[in-house]
Chains A and B, each alone.
Chain A
């Protein structure tokens, strides 16, 4: 029996990605603890980032999007465009990670403030507002 290892790995990563998105959304909406919600949120963001990387990925043989020759010949460039992975999703993910860090820090600060005011991080006990 022949197993195409690349295809197998690609399928595994896609399936696990979808599973991670489902689990993290469950964590954000259903877990009562705010810290666990934040952890689920970071997992969700990372899953989105991984999805972006996968979209720009190329089945092997592939190389990072870096030209090693300082004065590339036309052959080098042709080879490069055939095997290099797409750099744009990586740039998007870098931006998204930086933004995500800022948002996460803010949310963690608010969670800390919740703990200081209420003495608990359980959202069921924090509920005073209604409607």
Chain B
């Protein structure tokens, strides 16, 4: 049980590292110290999450449960890492490390870097905690850890009107959303008598007795319907699916550029992760009759909302003049694709959604980071005012174009294969209209991207930008992200077979998740 200490160690260690950083501000003032501290911590997180991935995929070949304090699952808090959690953990830590390297360049001349790094590390700790936890209440706590860091980072430029306004909007509604999830948990606890995910999954499928937490009380169908509806509201808020997307186009551009990349690429994916966890593991299409109807209905609603997100966001992308807002709307569009794909309820749809998740995380981070370089050089975020600054920053423009091509879906790059998989998944589910929406919204997005590229590169420079030279500090993360896009694209069949199909098989047969927890109970509980 305790040989898998890295599973339980990763999130608490990261939280400890993140929130002990302010102590150093009393004695150290040098920026170099904080850079090194953050990079070392992010590297540790990457190594730990890669090791956890190795454990889950190659050593145990199934979910790993880490019981905190030696308490068996429904009694104590456990971390349960299955293939899905390990996959998301690796995406998060890889992209966060590259964002950390970029931040070293970005934060030159910006005061308050020590608080920036504290919140950045807190954000990563919260995200990894969200994906590793096996306890629904601990998920609430981790969402709050991640949200507090995100609110702080959005309002980081506290003298800027835009940042403060986006911050108050995001934080007020965000705090309401997480409280709604807390109410959902109360309904779950009131009927199921437990908050352990494996335990709820077991009871929603059999309604029989589980060790330590006893039997269900009252009407589990009604309570599950209420809990699902409330928690889906929270998670679609976090993932910015259409009726709840209003905060994203304000919050993501207002943050510092590396944070925009982290919020757009990763934080919305935590909402996607929670939706998958609730619709496939905790509840699912194989649950007891009335509950599975609710899950089915929820999936239908999410398909409609996902497609609405894609259409609305891609139409709004065209009219944007602010580069970062344009990219933020593109996030809403891609999350719409992902949510629609995972709500098909088929293995193919799930694989396509998960593949698009990693491609969008890498591609969107690359797009934001390279656009950030151009914005920084031009001193403006307006498409009309950056006027050909890309001519002086050729490598950066190249990575920007590659990111756009990948998100649009040009064959050798990764985005093409995930869009192709999504297309196939929609067609094979008999929903040709979704495939049409996929193509139409991609076409709209292309128009917006052409406008962006025209402003950034093809337009003749109207003013003198002074001396601009490209620097390796930001080119290294940009080139690594580009390489990732190419590698993900070239190895697409291998990636789908080796990584995505084990995840989707495990998600469609959640008994493995439950038996892993039961095994721990047998060992610890006698």
Residues of A at the B interface (CB closer than 8 Å) are: 25, 28, 34, 37-38, 41, 44-45, 48, 51-52, 55, 88-89, 92, 95-96, 99-100, 102-104, 106-107, 110-111, 113-114, 117-118, 126-129, 131
Contacting A at CB under 8 A, from B131-181, are: 137, 140-141, 144, 147-148, 151-152, 155, 158-159, 161-162, 164-168, 171-173, 175-176, 178-179
**Does more than half of chain B's interface fall in helix, strand or loop, or is it mixed?**
helix
- Extra contacts besides A28-B172, A45-B175, A107-B172 (14): CB < 8 Å: A41-B179, A52-B182, A55-B186, A102-B144, A102-B148, A103-B148, A103-B151, A107-B151, A107-B168, A110-B167, A113-B155, A129-B162, A129-B166, A131-B325
What residues of A have a CB within 8 angstroms of the CB of B258 in the complex?
A: none
Flag if A110 contacts B162 (CB, 8 Å).
no
Flag if B179 contacts A106 (CB, 8 Å).
no
Given contacts A99-B144, A117-B159, contact A106 B152 (CB under 8 A): yes
What residues of A have a CB within 8 angstroms of the CB of B173 in the complex?
A: 28
> Quick check: is B62 within 8 A (CB to CB) of the other chain?
no
Q: What would 19 A/B residue contacts be, using CB atoms closer than 8 Å?
A: A34-B172, A37-B172, A38-B172, A41-B176, A45-B175, A99-B144, A103-B144, A103-B147, A103-B151, A103-B175, A104-B175, A106-B151, A107-B175, A110-B155, A110-B171, A118-B161, A126-B168, A127-B165, A128-B161
What residues of A have a CB within 8 angstroms of the CB of B477 in the complex?
A: none
Counting chain B residues whose Cβ lies within 8 A of the other chain, the interface size class is 35 or more
What residues of B have a CB within 8 angstroms of the CB of A48 in the complex?
A: 179, 182-183, 186
How far is A100 from B179 in the complex, measured between Cα atoms in Å? Answer: 9
What residues of A have a CB within 8 angstroms of the CB of B166 in the complex?
A: 129
How far is A34 from B178 in the complex, measured between Cα atoms in Å? Answer: 19
> Quick check: is B250 within 8 A (CB to CB) of the other chain?
yes
What residues of B have a CB within 8 angstroms of the CB of A117 in the complex?
A: 159, 161, 164
How far is A32 from B457 in the complex, measured between Cα atoms in Å? Answer: 43
> Quick check: is B249 within 8 A (CB to CB) of the other chain?
yes
What residues of A have a CB within 8 angstroms of the CB of B152 in the complex?
A: 106
Flag if B189 contacts A88 (CB, 8 Å).
yes
Flag if B183 contacts A110 (CB, 8 Å).
no
How far is A129 from B450 in the complex, measured between Cα atoms in Å? Answer: 24
Given contacts A41-B175, A106-B152, contact A114 B186 (CB under 8 A): no
How far is A11 from B178 in the complex, measured between Cα atoms in Å? Answer: 27
Residue on A nearest B147 in the bound complex, by CB: A103
What residues of A have a CB within 8 angstroms of the CB of B325 in the complex?
A: 131
What residues of A have a CB within 8 angstroms of the CB of B183 in the complex?
A: 48, 51
What residues of A have a CB within 8 angstroms of the CB of B162 in the complex?
A: 128-129
Flag if A110 contacts B164 (CB, 8 Å).
yes
Pick from A92, A104, A110, A126: contact of B137, CB below 8 A. Answer: A92
Flag if A128 contacts B179 (CB, 8 Å).
no
Flag if A129 contacts B176 (CB, 8 Å).
no
> Quick check: is B190 within 8 A (CB to CB) of the other chain?
yes
What residues of B have a CB within 8 angstroms of the CB of A128 in the complex?
A: 161-162, 165
Pick from B158, B176, B249: contact of A113, CB below 8 A. Answer: B158
